[in-house]
Each structure stands twice: as C-alpha cells, then as structure tokens.
C-alpha cells in the first residue's frame, strides 16, 4: 500500500546533538522459550461503537485496504452499550415481552433486512448517576425528583433465576453526598417490590469504590430493618447527627410484589425498587430537612446501584449519531479478513434470550464466531463478582443451548495496573477475580470459562511524560502475574481484547512516543506469556479533544472530514514494525526472553529487546531505544546450547524512529503551516507529521563483531540467521 508522503519537504526535523555511547550487549536466552504466537489468530484489533458517519465511510473497500496494511489480523467486536447503561438492540427488528413495545426486547433471528447499524436504548429504571465508563448522558431515577419514576434491580439476580437465596446476592444503593454532611435521617420512597430486610450504613473511609479495602461499612445505630413494609419509610438513623459522605442501603430480602407493569411477567415481581431517596436531619420540632439535590440530570445527588433492570421501551432515548456496526455490514464488508472474530453479548443490562438470539442469528447466517465475550467492563459498572458470575452462568447456559461448542469468556476488565478489589465478603476476600472464579468453581461452571479477557490502558489520562515509557514492560508483566495469582488456571488463556496508552486521547498518541509505547507493550505482553492481543482502534477516526484540550485520536491515521486517510500516524508504522518486520505474519513464532544492559543510572532500562524464532526459520530481535535524544550501539548475542551465537551473513534491518517520523503539534489554525492547510482538511488543525515515514529498510552484514546502531527514540528490527 502506498501512502502519499505528505510534508516531506516542509520543515527540517530538529534533532538535538547526540552522543553515541560505547556498544553494549543485548543477550537472547535462546534455550528457554516463553511463548508461541501465530499472528494470524493472536494479533488483532478492535472495532467499537463509532459515529454513524464513520461506519458509512470506514467499512468500504478502499479504506479497509489501507487499514489492512498495518498488519493486524483477527478482530474483536467491542460492545459499548454496557458502558452507557443501555439495552443493546443488536437487531433493530425484534419482539417485546409486553404489549405496547415495552418490556424486555429480543432481537429477531429470522428478519430479512440488512443490519447496517445497531443502537442502545436507555434504561428507564436506571439507578446510577454515572459509572466508570459512561459519558455525561443519563441520570439516576433515585434522586431525579420524580416519584413516577423508579430504580429497579436486575431480576436475573434473584432466587427465581439464580436458584439460590437472595441473601447471597445483596442488592444495594450508595448515595454520595459529595462531602461529609451532617445527617441523622433517611427517607425511602419504595416502589414495588420493596425490601423487607435491609441495612442502612455509612462508609468509614475515603472512597468506597476506588479504595474499597481502605474503609468499612458501618450500620447506623437504628439502621437494621427486619420488617420493611414498603411505602415511604422515614428512618431516624441515630439520635445524634453525624457527618457522612457515603451512605449505603444493603438489601437482602424482597417482598416479591409486582411493579406497576403487573404480574404478566415474573421479572416484574422480583428484586427491589426505589422511587426516591431523601437524606438529611430531623429538627426538634419533627421537621425533616433534606440535603440531597433532586434533578433529572447528572447534577443530582449521585447514587450508585448494584444492578439495573434491563426493562425498557421503544421510546427509550438512544443516541442516533453513535452506533455499533450492524452484523451484516460487519461480516460482509470484509473487515474480518475471513478470520473468525471475537463477538460480544450484552449481559449486565440484557437478557439471556436476547443473547441466545444473537448467536442464533450469526450462526444461521453462516457468520463464523471465534469466541463470545460476556459483557463489557463489568468492574466499571460496580457490579459485585458474585452477581456477574451468577449472570455469567445463566447466559452461558442459554448460549450453549444454541451451540454447545461455543467458547465463552470475560469479564473484559477495565484497563488497570493492579488487582481489582471490592468490599470484603463474609470471609474477608477482596479480590474481584478470585471471588468470580470461586463462584464458578462452587457452581461446577469453570468449564464455561474458555478464556479470560481484560483491557489495558496503563497510563493516567493527561498525566504521563516521556519517562512513562520506562514503566510499560513492568506494568504489563505485573498485571499478568496478578491474574494468575488470583487463581486463574494456567490452561485458561489470557486475551487482552482492547488496549492503548490511556482511556483518553492525547497528542502523545500521534507523536513518536505512541509508536514506541506500542512496540514495547506488545513485545512485553508476548514475552510475559499473554496469548492474544488486540490493538484499539482499528478504523480511521477523526481527531477529538483529549488530554489538556489537545487533539488526539485512537486511530492509526489522520483523516479529513470525509474520513479519507491523509497520512499514517506513529502507531501505524509501529504496527507494521511488529506485525510485518518482527513477526512472521502467519505460522508459529516462538518467543524467547531477551535483555539489554543499558540503563539511565536510575534503574530505568533505556533499550528493551524482544526476540522470536520465526516461522520462516529466521531469528528476529525488536529493539526499542527509549532514549529520547541519544542513539546507542549494541551487539546482539544468542545463548544457545551452551554456545554464544550471533547473526551471520545478511541481516535485514528495519528502522522507525524520530528520523523517519516527527509530529508537529499545531499552534492554532492561524499558525498552521500553509501546506498543511492544502493537504489536510482545515477542520483538523491538531498537527501533522513531517516526515511521515516510510520505515527505513536495508540489508547489512552480521557477524560476531557487528555493532547495530539504534537511533534516538526508535524501533529497530534485526532479522537473519545465526552462525
């Protein structure tokens, strides 16, 4: 694929004077393989919810042909409606459980229309103001000031569906008063069903969600309710007002009375429902003084809930400008390159029937499925591990009735660097993953977990610098070990199904920084034993405002207003270095540990090395010089069968660094270089690359004394045979 080499003669690249250090040694342990990778099945990319106009432009032969040159092969379909607390209509055509286009929706498996887009529908019984993934859309019905609306918990977490006591799946509401506030009284306007047994507690700690082990939930002196009767309950929690920020209602027994939709559907008659919560103080004259803010937007007093009923209506608002690509367009456009993709089901806010119908639709249309990922970022929805596990078991059974051979996995954790911890259970266990696995084991369902999936966004948005590059190998290696230490069996593969620098775009993505990070991350992940990895985001997207109000994109390309590719960005070239230069694109590549003895004097390795014995019989070493301004010279030694070996004869060298690519951030449209405005749409004044490639390739002669030069801020791949 040939890209226009824009800006090749506009501006010289300003390079600091560099000092070439004495040659150091890169050593490959060629006796101890640590992984085996076939990029045709294990190195892929993700397709997510994107603007409708992006779907129209990106899923076309010309754009896809350019995208494929990055070298990523399998695809994982990302399911974003869970992050927005929506019910997913993977098929716009389907059936409702109740008359009047309301209730629980199940997509049609026999519809004949071409599915081009699919949308999410908001949940009328939502109880969370905002979660870890959603944007500023939606609000809780618990503090919206409207008694005609209500939150309701997920019926699939009740004994009717789990087959176990409701006390094993407590449902909860947390109210965040935003600052310590003096209170002594709680008023709950219950809906139906209501809680017969519940506790009202306060958090003695800092943050119950992000620091759940650094505090404890304490029941108010009068906060244990054993005979709840519904209606509006006014609870004098203590005789002495006290400052509280977080308050929790912990519900363990339901009235199992039916909500306003009536008994026609048993799902209407289980769980818990609350219309409004008021919290404050009661004065000596008996008057209640509410401190909560009740408004139908995200300025309300924030509430968080354990689960949400996926009941909704055809009128439930959805965003018509953002869509999941329709299944028919997805498969027929060619984006999968004929490789079976990982497909998702919605689970946290959906029903087993709709998930089963989705699989039936795909299989009846002869659309191949590699595996099914169960839900999206369950930890970001604040769902407890036992609740997620209970849903997982129910959905797995429904899917395996359609196809017993389906491979299922999850839970698609948010990108984290440490173990995910939750409030301690009765045994004091706080690890989310360990408790999820223990639930599966105790329910004889470990065979339902064919793979473990998680995401990787290691750097805090807007808070990283060049030195952050040094962290990546340790971060990714550490988190893989954490999952194994949590009890993930060695025979359950780990799939990293979505990843990039951070969850918010920034200028660093387009700079050489983004390319170096990508090479380091993929090399470290495979060396640490990761089984499959998926780059995010595959398709060209327009720039958006990101960190520090700087423009950024998750894409590998800069595009104009019509999504036509204007130039490749740093992560495109880094992708090619990984998928086409370092690895053999099809066949088994055997990964071996490698290390360099260069550091900055403070313990930071300046050069990272990643070695493979390729399927074509050649050895390949990818070297990442993280030194921003200084080039280095290295020798490469392979310790094999008690001998020290080196490259011999022709060695193919590929180089991508600051001399091949340099990002120029725009200083504002008026200051943009005139040729930029000629060649890139004026709507995108975030910057431009000059030079913008290509990768430098040449053949050199290897031998025992050969030194290989690593330019400053570069990726170098050496490939050849050993002596």
pLDDT digits 0-9 by tens, 27-51:
999 999 999 999 999 999 999 999 9
**Domain containing 563 — which CATH number?**
3.20.20.80
Mean pLDDT of the chain: 92
Lowest mean pLDDT among 99-103, 112-116, 446-450, 679-683: 679-683
Residue 478, pLDDT above cutoff 50: yes
Across 60-74, 315-329, 614-628, least confident range: 315-329
Query: Angle CA(126)–CA(127)–CA(132) in degrees, nearest 5?
Result: 95
Is the residue at 328 inside a domain?
A: yes
The answer to whether residue 579 scores a pLDDT higher than 50 is yes
Clarify whether residues 590 and 462 are in a common domain: yes
- Read off the pLDDT of residues 349-396 as tens digits, 9 standing for 90 and up: 999 999 999 999 999 999 999 999 999 999 988 999 999 999 999 999
Concatenated DSSP letters of 180-198: EEEE-EEEEEE-SS-EEEE
Find the helix packing angle between 352-364 and 385-402, rounded to 10°. 40
pLDDT band at 135, cuts 50/70/90?
low
What's the CA gap between 273 and 73, in Å, rounded?
A: 46
Q: Which residue has the tokens 């101890």?
A: 32
513 and 636 both lie in a single domain: yes
Please, which pLDDT band fits residue 134 given cuts at 50, 70 and 90? low
Are the C-beta atoms of 516 and 713 separated by less than 8 Å?
yes
Among 584, 637, 620, 636, smallest CA distance to 720 is for 620
- Give pLDDT tens digits for 316-339: 877 888 899 999 999 999 999 999
300 and 329 fall within a common domain = no
Whether residue 411 is contained in a domain is answered as: yes
Residue 611 clears pLDDT 50, i.e. is over it = yes
Number of other CB atoms surrounding residue 201 within 10 Å: 22
Could you please report the per-residue DSSP string of 514-550? Answer: HHHHHHHHHHHHHHTT--EEEES--S----EE-GGG-
Statement to judge: residues 676 and 563 lie in one domain? yes
Cα–Cα nearest to 532, from 451, 442, 653, 419: 451
SS3 393: helix
Residues 343 and 472 in one domain: yes
Positive or negative CA dihedral for 441, 442, 448, 454? negative
Asked if the model's pLDDT at residue 574 lies above 50, the reply is yes
Least confident interval from 121-130, 185-194, 637-646, 683-692 = 683-692
How high is the pLDDT of residue 20?
A: 44
Q: Burial level of 291, CB count in 10 A (0-12/13-18/19+)?
A: middle
pLDDT over threshold 60, residue 55:
yes
Rounded mean pLDDT, 140-167: 98
419, part of any domain: yes
- Tell me, yes or no, whether 457 and 539 share the same domain: yes
Segment 192-216 shows an average pLDDT of: 96
Arithmetic mean of pLDDT, 696-720: 96
| Residue where a domain terminates, one of 309, 336, 356 | 309
Residue 135 is assigned to a structural domain of this protein: no
CA distance 418 to 211: 12
Give the structural domain span for 266.
151-309
| pLDDT in the model for residue 133 | 58
Q: Which CATH number does the domain housing residue 293 bear?
A: 2.60.120.260
* Angular region, 338: left φ>0, alpha ψ -120 to 50, beta rest: left
The percentage of residues in the chain with a pLDDT greater than 70, rounded to a whole number, is: 93
| Domain stop point among 281, 309, 337 | 309
pLDDT tens digits, residue range 222-276?
999 999 999 999 999 999 999 999 999 999 999 999 999 999 999 999 999 999 9
Q: Considering 246, 278, 309, which residue would you say is the last residue of a domain? A: 309
Residue 185 and residue 76 share a domain: no
pLDDT of res. 22 = 56
551 occurs within a structural domain: yes
Q: Is residue 15 part of a domain?
A: no
Instruction: Tell me what pLDDT residue 321 has.
Output: 87
Question: Helices (DSSP H) in 403-467: which residue ranges?
Answer: 432-442
Write the pLDDT tens digit of every residue in 534-560: 999 899 999 888 777 788 888 999 999
Task: Look at the block and give the residue holding tokens 């629980």.
Answer: 104
- Residue 326 shares a structural domain with residue 303: no
Residues 170 and 226 in one domain: yes
Flag whether 293 is in a domain: yes
Residue count of the chain? 723
Using CA atoms, how far apart are residues 708 and 593, in angstroms rounded to an integer? 19
Indicate whether 586 belongs to any domain. Answer: yes
Q: What residues form DSSP beta bridges with 607?
A: 625
At residue 230, the pLDDT reads 96
Same domain, 642 and 583: yes
Q: What is the pLDDT of residue 128?
A: 95
pLDDT (0 to 100) of residue 544: 83
- Number of domains into which the chain is organized: 2
Same domain, 232 and 353: no
Whether residues 166 and 41 share a domain: the answer is no
């Amino acid at each position: 694929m040939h890209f226009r080499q824009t800006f090749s003669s506009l501006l010289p690249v300003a390079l600091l004077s560099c000092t070439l250090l004495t040659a150091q040694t890169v050593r490959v342990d060629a006796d101890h393989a640590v992984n085996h990778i076939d990029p045709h099945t294990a190195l892929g990319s993700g397709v997510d919810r994107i603007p409708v106009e992006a779907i129209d432009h990106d899923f076309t032969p010309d754009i896809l042909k350019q995208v494929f040159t990055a070298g990523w092969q399998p695809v994982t379909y990302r399911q974003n409606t869970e992050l927005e607390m929506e019910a997913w209509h993977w098929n716009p055509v389907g059936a409702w459980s109740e008359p009047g286009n309301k209730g629980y929706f199940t997509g049609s498996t026999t519809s004949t229309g071409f599915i081009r887009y699919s949308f999410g529908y908001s949940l009328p019984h939502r109880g969370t103001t905002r979660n870890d993934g959603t944007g500023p859309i939606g609000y809780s019905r618990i503090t919206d000031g409207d008694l005609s609306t209500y939150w309701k918990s997920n019926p699939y977490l009740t004994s009717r569906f789990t087959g176990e006591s409701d006390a094993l799946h407590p449902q909860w509401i947390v109210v965040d008063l935003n600052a310590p506030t003096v209170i002594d009284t709680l008023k709950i306007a219950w809906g139906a069903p209501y809680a017969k047994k519940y506790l009202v507690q306060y958090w003695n700690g800092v943050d119950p969600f992000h620091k759940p082990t650094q505090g404890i939930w304490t029941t108010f002196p009068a906060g244990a309710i054993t005979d709840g009767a519904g209606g509006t309950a006014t609870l004098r929690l203590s005789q002495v007002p006290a400052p509280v920020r977080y308050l929790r209602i912990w519900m363990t027994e339901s009235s199992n009375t039916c909500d306003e939709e009536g008994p026609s559907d048993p799902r209407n008659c289980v769980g818990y429902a609350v219309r409004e919560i008021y919290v404050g103080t009661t004065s000596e004259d008996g008057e209640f003084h509410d401190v909560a803010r009740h408004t139908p937007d995200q300025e309300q007093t924030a509430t968080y809930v354990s689960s949400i009923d996926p009941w909704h209506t055809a009128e439930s608002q959805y965003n018509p400008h953002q869509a999941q690509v329709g299944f028919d367009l997805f498969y027929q456009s060619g984006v999968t390159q004929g490789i079976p993709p990982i497909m998702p089901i919605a689970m946290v806010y959906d029903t087993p029937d709709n998930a089963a119908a989705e699989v039936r639709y795909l299989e009846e249309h002869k659309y191949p499925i590699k595996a099914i990922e169960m839900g999206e970022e369950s930890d970001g929805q604040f769902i407890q591990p036992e609740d997620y596990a209970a849903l997982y078991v129910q959905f797995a059974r429904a899917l395996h009735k359609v196809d017993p051979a389906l491979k299922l996995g999850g839970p698609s954790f948010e990108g984290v660097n440490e173990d995910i911890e939750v409030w301690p259970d009765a045994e004091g266990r706080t690890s989310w993953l360990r408790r999820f696995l223990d639930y599966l084991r105790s329910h004889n369902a470990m065979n339902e977990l064919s793979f473990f999936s998680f995401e990787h966004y290691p750097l805090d948005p807007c808070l990283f610098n060049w030195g952050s590059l040094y962290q990546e190998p340790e971060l990714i290696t550490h988190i893989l070990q954490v999952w194994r230490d949590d009890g993930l069996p060695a025979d359950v593969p780990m799939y990293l199904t979505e990843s990039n620098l951070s969850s918010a775009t920034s200028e660093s993505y387009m700079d050489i920084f983004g390319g170096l990070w990508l090479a380091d991350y993929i090399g470290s992940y495979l060396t640490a034993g990761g089984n499959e990895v998926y780059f995010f985001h595959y398709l060209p997207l327009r720039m958006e405002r990101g960190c520090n109000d700087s423009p950024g994109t998750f894409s590998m390309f800069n595009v104009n207003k019509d999504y036509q590719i204007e130039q490749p960005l740093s992560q495109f070239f880094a992708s090619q270095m990984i998928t086409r230069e370092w690895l053999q694109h099809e066949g088994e590549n055997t990964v071996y540990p490698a290390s360099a003895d260069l550091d900055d004097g403070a313990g930071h390795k300046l050069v990272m090395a990643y070695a493979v014995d390729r399927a074509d019989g050649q050895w390949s070493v990818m070297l990442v010089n993280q030194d921003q301004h200084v080039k280095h010279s290295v020798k490469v030694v392979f310790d094999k069968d008690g001998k020290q070996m080196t490259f011999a004869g022709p060695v193919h060298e590929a180089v991508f660094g600051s001399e091949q690519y340099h990002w120029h951030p725009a200083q504002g449209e008026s200051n943009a270089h005139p040729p930029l405005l000629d060649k890139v749409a004026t709507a995108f004044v975030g910057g431009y690359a000059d030079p913008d490639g290509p990768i430098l390739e040449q053949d050199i002669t290897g031998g025992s004394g050969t030194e290989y030069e690593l330019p400053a801020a570069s990726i170098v791949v050496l490939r050849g045979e050993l002596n």
